[in-house]
Structure 1
Amino acid sequence: MSARTVLSLVTAVTALTLVTTGCTSTKTAGSGGTEITLVTEGKLTTCTHLPYEPFQFRKGSEVVGFDVDIVDLVAKELKVTQEVVDTPFEGIQTGEDLNAGKCDLAAAGMTITPVREENLDFSGPYFDATQALIAKKGSPYTSLASLKGKKLGVQQGTTGETYAKKNGAGVETVQFEDVALLLTAVKTGQVDAAVNDNGVLFEYVRKNADLAVTTEFETGEKYGIGVRSGNTALRKEIDKVIKAARSDGRYDALYQKWFPAAPKK
């Protein structure tokens, strides 16, 4: 093998490494001097799955929402800006996007579960959630039992889907890729009702008076922000920022901004 061939191989391998792992840049956290490694210099890259209003959704050319604002607090502490990447939820919850260097963290209204904890590391809980049922206002669907023999919309890969299949004996579940398609199906009568996280459903009925949240199921879920397994430095930084925001009132201000119609937390 000639020296030129060896050099070409080295160059090719180097280029492939850069493509598959992305360029990294070490940043220093705002406190404690901890070094945080980011996939793109000057940016905190967030993987999410749109739309999931009011946690993350497009407003004009921007992606906004409660999760976006929470991560912005972390980005500010790191003295970088947030960049949001829209990606299928499956790649988020399996940890594939984080492992591939697609993003630094995942903020997608994502419930902490034992299965997901095998694939990625979570911050401490930042939001309490539960499952709820949405249907046409005045409909008789106020429980899973009342939907026996009826069609119930569920979002693919979510805890709502798991709950409905486990507890909805005799109910026909219809799977949708995202929450926008799910809620449109309820509104247009493709399904009789749908199950999803209460925060999303309360916001939707606030803007769609023909629908109602007919019941909630106390599932005791908590959302966490995901990072690649072993990325302790970034996980601790997220926890530190959220703890500070809860203490100084910034968290409460964001909650009131994005959940004006929700029951008191």
Structure 2
Amino acid sequence: MDRRTYLKASSGAVAALAFAGCLGDSGGSGSDDNGDNGDNGDDEKTSSDGKDDSDTGKILIGSDIPYKPFEYRTADGSLEGFDPGIAEAIFKGQLDREYEFKKAGFDTIIDSLKNKNFRLIMSAMTITDKRAEKVDFSDPYFTAYQTVAIRKGGGIEKLDDLKGKTVAVQKGTTGESAAEKVKEDFGGSLTIHSYDQIAGAFNALRNQQAVAVINDNTVNAEFVNKMDGVVFLEGEGEAAKQGKNAPDYLTLTIEEYGIAFRKDDDDLRKQVNEAIKAIKDDGTYDKIYDKYFEG
């Protein structure tokens, strides 16, 4: 079994931030970028002037921070998470390049990339055909599922129980796209409430404004592990249909994350692909993975 097809957030990573803090500022990841602005004002200030770097200068990385466990700030302000760990291994370890993360809202992050606010995107971004019309992706570096988080004892025992109910998602994510697909399968009998950040979706679940949250499995696991009475909806799904070693919770989709580049940045993209292969071959990838996930 490839453990990167069955993911659960580790209890150690969950304990890194307090519940209230996580709910207050969790970020977003996922699906089709539908923003129409270049820089939406959410970009984190850096020492750079925002201009595109040269082939030898510092590489600016756009990311929707925080989105634990992929990217988040610790109590002392340092940047942590799976994506920063992979970036360190790729850019510092393999390419000997300086790099810096720059905060950007997820729903406009692709347009910000095209406007040269940063050189590339590392933000738990799913590779999709629609996105690939706007950017070029690296080779996949992570496998994820879309899953359903529910309140235990809330009357939702199978996917069909969502008919006529309200679900919560984050704007611009594959969770939102997966919810739209469920709504279509239900003949329109589903209400979808979209939030700027995933924390808003889980607050809606906690306050009984929604019966479920649809989102990436690893990020859902962060909330499942720290919110009393919140669990994954169980059942077979897409992973089982495709003959994968499926987890015991329902999987709506199987997705691959990639690093996004502008269409004219082939040289760097090729270098990054070679670096991804190298860190997988030498065991560095597994060490970073083990730090943030178990399973």
- Scaled by the length of structure 1, the TM-score of the pair is 0.80
Counterpart of 1:72? Answer: 88
| Equivalent residue in structure 2 for 1:85, among 81, 95, 102 | 102
Query: 1:220 and 1:127 mapped to 2: Cα distance?
Result: 11
Deviation at residue 183 of structure 1 after TM alignment: 1.9
Identity %: 34
Structure with more of its chain in strand, by fraction: 1
SS of 2:218's equivalent? helix
**1:20 CA displacement:** 9.7
For residues 214-225 of structure 1, the aligned pairs below 5 Å read 214-215=233-234, 216-225=250-259
Unaligned segments of structure 1, at least 5 residues: 1-18, 28-40
Q: State how far apart, in whole Å, the 2-side matches of 1:214 and 1:130 are.
A: 13
Q: Which residue of 1 aligns with 2:172?
A: 157
Structure 1 ranges of 4+ moved more than 3 A: none
User: What is the RMSD computed on CA atoms of the aligned residues?
Assistant: 1.9
Corresponding position of 2:238: none
Q: For this pair of structures, how many residues does the alignment match?
A: 227
Whether 1:234 and 2:234 are equivalent positions in the alignment is no
Q: Give the gaps of 5 or more residues in structure 2.
A: 1-47, 235-249
Aligned to 1:9: none
Tell me the amino acid that sits aligned with residue 140 of structure 1.
Answer: G
8 Å contact 2:53–2:59 — kept in the other structure?
no
Q: What code does the residue aligned with 1:224 have?
A: G
1:172 to 191, 201, 205: 191
- Residue 37 of structure 1 corresponds to which residue in structure 2? none
Separation of aligned partners in 2, 1:130 and 1:218: 7
The alpha carbon displacement at 1:21 in A equals: 7.6
Cα-to-partner distance string for 1:64-88 (whole Å, 9 max, x where unaligned): 1101111111221332333111111
After superposition, residues 1-265 of structure 1 pair within 5 angstroms as 22=51, 24-27=53-56, 41=57, 43-60=58-75, 61-76=77-92, 77-92=94-109, 95-168=110-183, 169=186, 170-215=189-234, 216-260=250-294, 264=295
CA separation of 1:165/1:97 partners in 2, compared to 1, >3 Å: closer, same or farther? same
Shift of residue 182, structure 1, vs aligned partner: 1.6
Residue deviations 1:97-144 (CA, integer Å, cap 9, x gap): 122111111011111000000010100111111110011123332443
Larger radius of gyration, structure 1 or 2? 1
Contact 1:47/1:85 (8 A) holds in 2: yes
**Which structure has the higher relative contact order (CA within 8 Å, separation 6+)?**
2
Partners of 1:257 and 1:20 in 2: CA distance = 33
